[in-house]
A and B are shown apart, each in its own frame.
Chain A
Amino acid sequence: MMRALAIGGFLVGLALFGLVEWLARREGSKIPTLGELCGYVMRYEVGPVPVGRIGLFGFWWWIGWHFLAR
């Protein structure tokens, strides 16, 4: 029962990612696409340090290591 709840919850979460991206790609949408959101976050800098780029690159690198290497 709890296993089915976890699987269902993760599937709903993934489906919501797809749904919001689909809504964002409609003509005249007020929702930015995930790519635009990432691009905006990656603009963030503290002085000369591109904190946003480093943060997103580091997060995605860790995701790859977590699922594909460890």
Chain B
Amino acid sequence: MMEQPHDLTVDAPRTWERPVVCVPVLVALSLVGGRFPSFSTEANVYVFGAGGMLIWLGLTKRVQARPAPERLRPGAVWWALPVVVFGIFEGATFFAAAGDDFPTFSRLADPLLEDRLVRSAAWLVWLSAFWGLVRR
């Protein structure tokens, strides 16, 4: 039997890394997370537990990572535009400390996140992005 060269072999993702497994798991975790209101002990424990687990997975590299670029393409500077626009408004609203008259982003988000469905959706966004980072 011929031996395969190393650079031609690709590790198959583990079962729990496949979308058919990890997407339902992320949705289930998000639905549970959406049940816990802000400032509750459960919410804090759940965020620290889920985040801690994902950080452990990411730092120990137990998940198959996508190849990272050696160099960035020159257009990377365009990412500064949304960051600066968002940063200016977040900074201005934070330092103005004008409450609801000139609210920060989190002050605007808080009433929306009181709804359980919106909260679960926010959990799904946060966990999915975290999972994406772990796989980088």
**Residue ranges of A at the interface with B (Cβ–Cβ < 8 Å):** 2-3, 5-7, 9-10, 12-14, 16-17, 19-20, 23-24, 29-32, 34-40, 42-43, 50, 53-54, 56-58, 60-61, 63-70
Contacts and interface: CB of A to CB of B under 8 A. Distances in A.
Task: Classify the secondary structure of A's interface with B.
Answer: helix
Nearest to B47: A69
Contact of A10 (B38, B44, B100, B105): B105
Contacts, number: 146
A57 B133 contact: yes
B62 interface: no
Nearest to A66: B106
B86 A32 contact: no
B73 to A, nearest CB: 5
B86 A10 contact: yes
A50 to B, nearest CB: 7
Contacts of A20: 78-79, 81-82
A11 B68 CA distance: 30
Nearest to A36: B69
26 contacts: A2-B98, A6-B93, A6-B104, A9-B89, A10-B90, A16-B82, A34-B79, A36-B68, A39-B67, A40-B68, A40-B71, A40-B72, A42-B133, A53-B59, A57-B54, A57-B55, A57-B59, A64-B130, A65-B47, A65-B51, A67-B113, A67-B122, A68-B113, A69-B40, A69-B46, A70-B39
